[in-house]
């Protein structure tokens, strides 16, 4: 077997930004830096799990439940074969994500042209405007992370403090809140996902008003919410739930609307604006004319842009001795957003369709010592510096949100206050009293 797609990509980028240098001289992707990517190498394949890769926990937990329900002797035999048969063990390891993506043309001129266009698009792009910063942030970030409580000192080493502390909050919308959400979204003609995005933005705007009440409307900056996108469907037309690589988009920009305006009018207006911007990430094929119109905002540019931005990020954050001195953009510097996004948002949608149907009867063990059934899961993304990441999901009866945040930068008390705002915005009779219309 030839070199895997990861190596193909290394060689391609090397040709553009470093002339004819040996690809192994690209220290920022060298196997000697293996600990950064969690590399595992065999004779013909490279396996790795970068930070942008996530597993579908719903799929994984369904399979874990199947394993737990196996007979003990059968499980012992399977584990014995797994750890003594190297071929079977390697067959179970996930491939590098690039192996799931189509390679660009093997014509070197076309490859160089492809990456040249990516660099030009990053140079001429129109980035999102300056956004109001997360109103939940501390007045002064903590200088360093606090040590973790040694809850599991018998099995874990607590001698080192993590680079930052992660916080989490979660909340639910039930009953009247869910009914109001569904009614508003249906009347305005946008999805529940767009509605959840809108609700997060409105809660952030209200918190910003509380933090900075004296700012005039003319000086109010818009809300910008970034969100992760799985780019594979835009390139291959399919995306199995097993694993995916996430790329962050430019996000959605919404105008600042004060809380004293009619809630229904604000929600519908902001929801329509969010829906219009989110539509460009619909998983469908696009014509050449559409691609040209979208330019740097085209979903097909997510992977090339992610590769370039990750390379720049690693080079900027690397120690002096680890820097490779590579300038991806050359003489065409990429245009960056003037500020960070207000927060990050992602919507999983209806999780009931992802749940594995029960295959056992918990009321009848059938002579087994253990019977397991997958009921649900709560998971969060580990935040980076300054991040506040909102994940939204639901089913036919309720809507939920789970948040992970950098507790060094975000005030936990403010985060709890934001949660209360989120849970209360829709929990009222929105249609009984007619207020001043927006």
Among candidate residues 169, 170, 194, the one with its CA nearest the CA of residue 181: 194
Question: How many Cβ atoms are within 10 Å of 282's Cβ, its own excluded?
Answer: 10
10 falls within a domain: no
Residues 6+ apart with CB under 8 A from 112: 15, 16
364 inside domain: yes
What pLDDT shows up at residue 355? 66
- Give residue 326's pLDDT: 83
Which regions of the chain are under pLDDT 70? Answer: 1-61, 97-98, 101-105, 235-244, 283-286, 288, 291-293, 349-350, 352-358, 376-377, 432-438
| Spatial distance between the Cα atoms of 186 and 73, rounded to a whole number of angstroms | 54
Asked whether residue 277 is assigned to any structural domain, the reply reads yes
* Domain count within the chain: 1
Residue 181: which domain range? 50-93+101-424
Contact between residue 175 and residue 417 where contact means Cβ atoms under 8 Å apart:
no
CB 170 within 8 A of CB 420: no
- Rounded Cα gap, residues 172 and 426, in angstroms: 11
CB 134: neighbour CB atoms within 10 A?
26
CA 177 from centroid of its chain's CA atoms:
26
pLDDT of residue 288: 66
Residue 6 lies in a domain: no
Residue 33 forms part of a structural domain: no
Identify whether 3 is part of a domain.
Answer: no
For 325-345, b where at least 16 C-beta lie within 10 A, e where not — what string? Answer: ebebbeeeebeeeeebbbbbb
Q: Residue 409: phi, psi to the nearest 5?
A: -105, -30
Confirm whether 37 is domain-assigned.
no
Within a domain: 250: yes
């Amino acid at each position: 077997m030839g070199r895997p797609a990861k190596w193909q990509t290394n060689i391609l980028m090397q040709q553009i930004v470093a002339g004819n240098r040996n690809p192994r001289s690209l220290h920022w992707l060298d196997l000697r830096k293996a600990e950064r990517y969690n590399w595992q190498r065999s004779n013909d394949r490279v396996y790795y799990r970068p930070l942008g890769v996530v597993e579908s926990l719903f799929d994984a937990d369904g399979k874990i439940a199947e394993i737990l329900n196996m007979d003990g002797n059968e499980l012992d035999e399977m584990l014995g074969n797994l750890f003594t048969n190297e071929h079977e063990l390697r067959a179970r390891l996930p491939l590098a994500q690039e192996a799931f993506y189509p390679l660009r043309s093997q014509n070197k001129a076309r490859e160089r042209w492809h990456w040249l266009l990516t660099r030009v698009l990053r140079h001429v792009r129109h980035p999102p405007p300056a956004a109001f910063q997360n109103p939940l942030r501390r007045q002064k970030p903590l200088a360093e992370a606090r040590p973790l409580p040694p809850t599991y000192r018998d099995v874990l080493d607590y001698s080192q403090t993590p680079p930052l502390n992660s916080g989490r909050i979660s909340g639910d919308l039930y009953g009247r809140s869910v009914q109001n959400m569904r009614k508003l979204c249906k009347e305005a003609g946008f999805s529940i996902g767009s509605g959840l995005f809108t609700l997060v933005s409105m809660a952030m705007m209200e918190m910003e008003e509380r933090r900075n009440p004296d700012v005039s409307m003319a000086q109010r900056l818009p809300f910008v919410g970034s969100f992760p996108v799985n780019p594979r469907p835009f390139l291959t037309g399919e995306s199995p739930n097993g694993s995916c690589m996430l790329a962050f988009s430019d996000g959605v920009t919404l105008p600042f609307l004060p809380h004293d305006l009619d809630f229904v009018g604000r929600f519908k207006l902001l929801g329509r604006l969010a829906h219009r911007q989110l539509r460009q990430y619909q998983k469908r094929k696009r014509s050449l004319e559409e691609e040209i119109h979208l330019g740097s905002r085209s979903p097909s540019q997510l992977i090339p842009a992610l590769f370039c931005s990750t390379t720049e990020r690693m080079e900027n954050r690397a120690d002096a001795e680890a820097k490779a001195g590579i300038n991806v953009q050359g003489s065409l510097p990429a245009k960056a957003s003037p500020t960070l996004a207000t927060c990050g948002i992602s919507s999983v949608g209806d999780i009931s369709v992802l749940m594995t149907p029960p295959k056992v009867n918990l009321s009848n063990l059938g002579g087994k010592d253990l019977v397991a059934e997958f009921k649900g899961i709560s998971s969060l993304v580990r935040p980076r510096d300054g991040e506040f990441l909102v994940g939204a999901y639901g089913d036919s009866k309720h809507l939920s949100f789970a948040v992970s945040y950098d507790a060094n930068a975000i005030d936990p008390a403010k985060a709890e206050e934001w949660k209360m705002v989120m849970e209360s915005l829709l929990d009222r009779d929105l249609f009984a009293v007619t207020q001043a219309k927006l």
